[in-house]
Amino acid sequence: NAGVTQTPKFQVLKTGQSMTLQCAQDMNHEYMSWYRQDPGMGLRLIHYSVGAGITDQGEVPNGYNVSRSTTEDFPLRLLSAAPSQTSVYFCASSYRTTGPSSYNEQFFGPGTRLTVL
């Protein structure tokens, strides 16, 4: 299994440009999420999905769109890039464990480093 893959690894954009960060997983996990990681801050949830066709906003959704047409893919779209979106973006997939104390077992991708000039 490749696990969670993200492309590209690095990207430089100009303000106002749009682009899509790709994320794919081959573990048949129901849940997928996008996070951003900024220096001196904890990871913050942007959007998440609990299954194909279902998405919801996280903590910092403004400026980002997502869709989940298949279980495997969860792309993140920047509609009009801004310097404030310079960050490292992580995609994660997870499955729900069973039992009385269930939780989401989560696996992260390697990240995409985005710079917006």
Site residues, another protein (CB under 8 A)? 4, 40-45, 48, 50, 56, 58-59, 90, 92, 101, 103-111
Rounded to a whole number of angstroms, the distance between the first and last alpha carbons of the chain is 36
The pair of structure tokens assigned to 45 is: 């949830």
The pair of structure tokens assigned to 11 is: 């990207």
**Least distance to another protein from the beta carbon of 45, Å?**
5
Q: Which is nearer to another protein, 18 or 96 (CB)?
A: 96
Specify the 3-state DSSP secondary structure of 84. helix
CB 109 within 8 A of CB 92: yes
Q: Which is nearer to another protein, 3 or 83 (CB)?
A: 3
**Least distance to another protein from the beta carbon of 26, Å?**
16
